[in-house]
Amino acid sequence: MKLTTVILAAGRGARMRSALPKVLHPLAGRPLLAHVLTAARALPNNDVYIVYGHGGAQVQSAFAHESEIHWVHQTEQLGTGHAVAQVLPHLVDPALVLVLYGDVPLISTDTLRLLIQAANHHTLALLTVALDNPTGYGRIVRDVNGSVLRIVEEKEANDVIRQINEVNTGIIAVSAAHLRRWLTQVQNNNAQGEYYLTDIIALAVNEQITIKTFTTQKTQEVLGINDRVQLATLERYYQQQQVEQLMLQGVTVLDPARLDIRGHVELMGEDVLIDVNVILSGHNRIGSRVQIGANCILHNVTLADDVEILPHSVLENTVVGQGCVIGPFARLRPGTVLADQVKIGNFVETKKITVGYGSKINHLSYIGDSDIGQKVNIGAGTITCNYDGVNKHKTVIGDGAFIGSDTQLVAPVTVGAGATIGAGSTITKDAPAEQLTLSRSSQVSFARWQRPEKKSS
Ligand code: UD1
Ligand code: CA
């Protein structure tokens, strides 16, 4: 049977109290729905349908870059059964339908695989979980032999059924042909006036279809997000899982509770050390013996072996060569590419620059749109004036150049190899290689000068 995943994401998520649709709230930097999509996508030959409704345009545009999603609009949220029914006209039998929830982000592909392997024309596969506090969930009602009879929603349950702590996760795998038949029979004469998907279980039992249950031991993988407290709780759980993975791969994390990973960390070596309050977002690649100091934020960064990032540094879309030392308080903006053994010191901002082997920009500089050679020394307070208010211009500095402190390099400008620029210069024309260039008003002193004295009143 062709596999089709239906992700229900039409609900409003009122308890989030948010203008943002619930499924777009981020967990580890990605929308809840994106996590579900990733789990579904890992199943081969899978057509993915998303049932959307509330905040529809916003949800769709957040996933505009994702091809091969089938969007199905549920104009009115009449219940989970009604939501799934919206997809059925699009499916060709025989098909197997896997139902997921846009607000249950941590469902694992392994669990889904178990369900779809078990489901067929004679068997419906149902994922359940045992909860200490089952309040709010649909309860799994079994007969004396342990066979599932039906699911009873909290609002329909009597006191005996409320005692059952095995609950419906909502995740099922079932043949589309059966669904078509059963969903036309499901009524909405219940406490919520909704078409409950869960009512199909009793219909299936009635037709002698086997209900095969899987009970997950990992409660977190089936937890749904209804409010921001649950979102934060699941975020902490997920972060802990990720950080543990990293530690097991050989990274020392000084405080596992104070490292957040919002994306993917690609370890290229071992013995990495990460100090407290670090955020790694996007795709970061980290080599051996890299040390990341406290309070650093790294986004889409590649760090070669032996790089040291000192505290309070922010790096974005940057490549850092072997043995470089960055910070403290450095800001490396997109397009910064550093060769090996480069030093970028405190209060230095860089953007769209290449820096050659062994060069140093140690203090209080802004260097943008520049190509800097090897073994260049850029003195404190050097500024590339790369922007004339309309266009950006380039600065080129040759190998071995020495730029004196407080220099302004008015781009476009080239400083030749081995050139020296006198401190305090405003360089508006190319500076020749190997020569001293400076622009500075000459200094005068007045020997007989007297300080003014305060007048007595
Ligand atoms: C549902 C199950 C319950 C289960 C629980 C697990 C039903 C009737 N009940 O209850 O047995 O224990 O999930 O979390 O299925 N949605 C739509 N369209 C609708 C209604 C809902 O897309 O018309 C989506 C929601 O956005 C949400 C999901 O379906 O993602 C679940 O709906 P919700 O109303 O939260 O169901 P629960 O009451 O939690
Ligand atoms: Ca729910």
pLDDT in tens, 322-369: 999 999 999 999 999 999 999 999 999 999 999 999 999 999 999 999
Which residues have a Cβ under 8 Å from the Cβ of 219 and sit 6 or more positions away? 129, 131
Residue range(s) in the chain whose domain bears CATH number 3.90.550.10: 2-222
- Per-residue pLDDT of 405-447, as tens digits, reads 999 999 999 999 999 999 999 999 999 999 999 999 999 999 9
Single out the residue of 315, 408, 410 nearest to residue 365, CA to CA. Answer: 408
Structure tokens at 162: 């409320």
Residue 133: the pLDDT is 94
363 tagged catalytic: yes
- 130 CA to centre of ligand 2 in angstroms: 16
54 has a pLDDT exceeding 90: no
pLDDT higher than 90, residue 12: no
CATH topology of domain 2-222: Spore Coat Polysaccharide Biosynthesis Protein SpsA; Chain A (3.90.550)
Going by C-alpha positions, the residue among 48, 40, 45, 201 that lies closest to residue 123 is 201
Please give the distance, rounded to the nearest whole angstrom, from the Cα atom of residue 143 to the centre of ligand 2: 26
- Which residues does a 6 A CB cutoff place in the pocket of ligand 1? 8-11, 51, 74, 77-80, 82-83, 101-103, 137-138, 151, 153, 167-170, 196-198, 224
Sign of CA dihedral 238, 239, 243, 244: negative
In the chain, CATH 2.160.10.10 covers 228-437
The binding site for Mg(2+) comprises: 103, 226
pLDDT of residue 237: 98
Give, using CA atoms, the residue closest to atom 39 of ligand 1. 137
CA of 224 to the centre of ligand 2 (A): 6
- Is the link from the previous residue into 328 a cis peptide, with omega within 30 of 0? yes
Among all bound ligands, the one having the nearest atom to the CA of 197 is 1
Res 339: pLDDT? 99
Render pLDDT for 185-239 as a digit per residue (tens, 0 to 9): 999 999 999 999 999 999 999 999 999 999 999 999 999 999 999 999 999 999 9
Q: Of all atoms in ligand 1, which is nearest to the CA of residue 224? A: 14
d(CA 127, CA 111): 9
Distance, first Cα to last Cα, the chain = 102
Per annotation, catalytic residue among 70, 312, 363, 393: 363
Q: Which ligand is located closest to the Cα atom of residue 155?
A: 1
Q: In terms of CATH architecture, what is 228-437?
A: 3 Solenoid (2.160)
Tens-place pLDDT, residues 104-159? 999 999 999 999 999 999 999 999 999 999 999 999 999 999 999 999 999 999 99
What spacing in Å lies between the alpha carbon of 105 and ligand 2's midpoint?
12
